[in-house]
Amino acid sequence: MTGILTSVLLTLIVLKSKCTLSELKKDIKIYPQVLVNAKVDNEKKAGYKEDSEICAKIQEIEREFKDNGRVLVRASGTESLIRVMIEGEDQEYILMKAKEVADLLERKLG
């Protein structure tokens, strides 16, 4: 359903702007993305949002990437994992930051 809504909204944008899709995409900056899985105790994985040290680390990284990327941390619905995804300009740097968060999660909730 969201795919249909997205395509309708995109069509409206193209029609209103009177630009081609290739002209509109020039303004979109694609960043590299990394995904690091933290292996945690299944019973504790939902509690990462309650841990002040983990929350502070995630907020610190979110502030850092606020204007040049994004950070997503979420518990897996099917595995004993918390997934850490970061997008940013520098692939090596975002991988290092994602590993920092994953290591903290494993240490505190593993």
Are both 37 and 20 inside the same structural domain?
Answer: no
Q: What is the mean pLDDT of each run of 10 residues along the chain (110 residues)?
A: 86 89 85 95 89 95 90 94 95 96 94
Q: pLDDT at position 67, please?
A: 85
Which of 80, 102, 81 is CA-nearest to residue 34? 102
- Per-residue pLDDT at 28: 83
Task: Answer yes or no: do 45 and 82 share one domain.
Answer: yes
Question: Residues 103, 54: one domain?
Answer: yes
CA distance linking residue 71 with residue 63, whole number of Å: 9
> Same structural domain for residues 9 and 58?
no
Which range of residues forms the domain containing residue 17? 1-27
Here the CATH number for the domain that contains residue 72 is 3.30.310.50
Domains contained in the chain, number: 2
Q: Are residues 87 and 103 in the same domain?
A: yes
Backbone angles phi, psi at 2, to 5 degrees: -65, -30
The whole-model pTM stands at: 0.77
